[in-house]
């Protein structure tokens, strides 16, 4: 059944677990996430970006999620819109059946330029007003995602600030977070603690405190009823990078967020953990490996089934690591 983010994360908070929010663009990714959730009895968040809507087309995206609800009626599913750039985008998603939307007002409508606090409050409060009127949850964002190592926002993927950010922009201020929540009424808040989007997060293997995990605790203590969200939470598995490289791929040395840091964040109040890059990497690795092994194969289902299997294993691993397994 479809449920709102508020319902899903209230349960997660009550029972002290986190929920991975995997990005979806096509049938195979939805199959992988749902098969994994079914295998370990987890609730799921299926999140779609504006890019996903453009890729699949709104009717396909909507009906693929409807199909997932029909095929796995016992799994609670939240259909969430990732990084909405304006109230109009959020409005469109609500009309298309999403049970949760993210209004990312930390950036201007171009999704590149950091915005003012006042702009962020105004657009987010507006979305909360029309979303809550129809039972849809809202995620806001305060702060700019970016690496504390470099000040870089990471991949220029249309949902991150451009250029080098200051230390202040890279860390959400707990006091401002409390003001923001009071002024907007958001259900969930994405915070900046040193993560960034994409595969190129850290140039060196992270040792210990690469993220400002202490910040999570401080923010959670100020706004205990607002669920905290960690974007840029892919771990960039080194074994899959090797598989990609061994089979013709060219991905530079790079490191992601260690799972232990995410688990620490969950202990301090993180409830939603956004993952897109890891699914992209394992699917690419699985396809490259099979193509190299069977150069005579030309049935796309063979490659896509292999990619689905690899993505399913990754999703199930995260459900287990974040404590989501057994909570459906």
157 contacts ligand G3H (rule: CB under 6 A): yes
- Window of 89-97, 120-128, 135-143, 271-279 that interacts with ligand 13P by CB under 6 A: 271-279
CB 328, CB 74: distance < 8 Å: yes
64 contacts ligand 13P (rule: CB under 6 A): no
Nearest to 86, CA basis, from 43, 115, 45: 115
CB 281, CB 241: distance < 8 Å: yes
Nearest to 257, CA basis, from 227, 287, 231, 221: 231
For residues 261 and 290, which CB has a smaller minimum distance to ligand 13P in the complex?
Answer: 261
296 among known catalytic residues: no
Annotated ligand binding at 210? The verdict is no
Q: Which of residues 209-268 bind ligand G3H (CB under 6 A)?
A: none
276 contacts ligand G3H (rule: CB under 6 A): yes
- Reading the block at residue 142, the tokens are 């305060």
Q: Residue 29 binds which entry of Na ion, ligand 13P, ligand G3H, none, with Cβ cut-offs from 5 to 8 Å by kind?
A: none
Positive/negative CA dihedral, 259, 312, 3, 98: positive
Entry field: residues in the chain: 328
Q: Which of residues 38-77 bind ligand G3H (CB under 6 A)?
A: 49, 51-52
Q: Tokens 């409005």 sit at which residue?
A: 91
For residues 6 and 197, which CB has a smaller minimum distance to ligand G3H in the complex?
Answer: 197
Annotated ligand binding at 187? The verdict is no
CB 178, CB 223: distance < 8 Å: yes
269 φψ region: left (φ > 0), alpha (ψ -120 to 50), beta (else): left
Size of the site for ligand 13P (CB under 6 A): 14
274 contacts Na ion (rule: CB under 5 A): no
- Identify the active-site residue in 10, 38, 41, 82: 82
Q: Tokens 């089934």 sit at which residue?
A: 305
106 contacts ligand 13P (rule: CB under 6 A): no
Rounded Cα distance between 314 and 306, Å, is: 13
- Reading the block at residue 239, the tokens are 């074994």
User: Which positions make up the binding site for dihydroxyacetone phosphate?
Assistant: 198, 232-234, 274-277
User: Which positions make up the binding site?
Assistant: 83, 104, 141, 197-198, 231-234, 274-277
Positions that interact with ligand G3H (CB under 6 A): 23, 49, 51-52, 82-83, 157-159, 197, 276
User: Which positions make up the binding site for Zn(2+)?
Assistant: 83, 104, 141, 197, 231
Q: Enumerate the active-site residues.
A: 82
């Amino acid at each position: 059944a479809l449920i709102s983010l508020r319902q899903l994360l209230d349960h997660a908070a009550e029972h002290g677990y986190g929920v991975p929010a995997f990005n979806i663009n096509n049938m195979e990714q939805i199959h992988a996430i749902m098969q994994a959730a079914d295998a370990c009895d987890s609730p799921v968040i299926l999140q779609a970006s504006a890019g996903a809507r453009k890729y699949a087309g709104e009717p396909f995206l909507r009906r693929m999620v409807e199909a997932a609800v029909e095929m796995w009626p016992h799994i609670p599913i939240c259909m969430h819109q990732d990084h909405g750039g304006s109230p109009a985008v959020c409005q469109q998603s609500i009309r298309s059946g999403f049970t949760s939307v993210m209004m990312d007002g930390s950036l201007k409508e171009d999704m590149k330029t950091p915005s003012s606090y006042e702009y962020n409050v105004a657009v987010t409060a507006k979305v909360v007003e029309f979303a809550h009127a129809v039972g849809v949850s809202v995620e806001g964002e305060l702060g700019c995602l970016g690496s504390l190592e470099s000040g870089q926002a990471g991949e220029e993927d249309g949902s991150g600030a451009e250029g080098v950010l200051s230390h202040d922009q890279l860390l959400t201020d707990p006091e401002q977070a409390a003001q923001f929540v009071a002024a907007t009424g958001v259900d969930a808040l994405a915070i900046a603690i040193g993560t960034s989007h994409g595969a190129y997060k850290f140039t060196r293997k992270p040792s210990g405190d690469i993220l400002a995990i202490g910040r999570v605790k401080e923010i959670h203590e100020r706004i205990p009823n607002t669920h905290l969200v960690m974007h840029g939470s892919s771990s960039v598995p080194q074994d899959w990078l090797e598989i990609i490289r061994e089979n013709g791929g060219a991905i530079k040395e790079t490191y992601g967020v260690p799972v232990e840091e995410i688990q620490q964040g969950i202990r301090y109040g993180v409830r939603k953990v956004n993952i897109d890059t890891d699914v992209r990497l394992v699917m690419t690795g699985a396809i490259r490996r099979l193509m190299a092994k069977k150069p005579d194969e030309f049935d796309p289902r063979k490659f896509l089934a292999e990619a689905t299997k690899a993505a399913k294993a990754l999703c199930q691993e995260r459900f287990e690591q974040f404590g989501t397994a057994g909570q459906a």
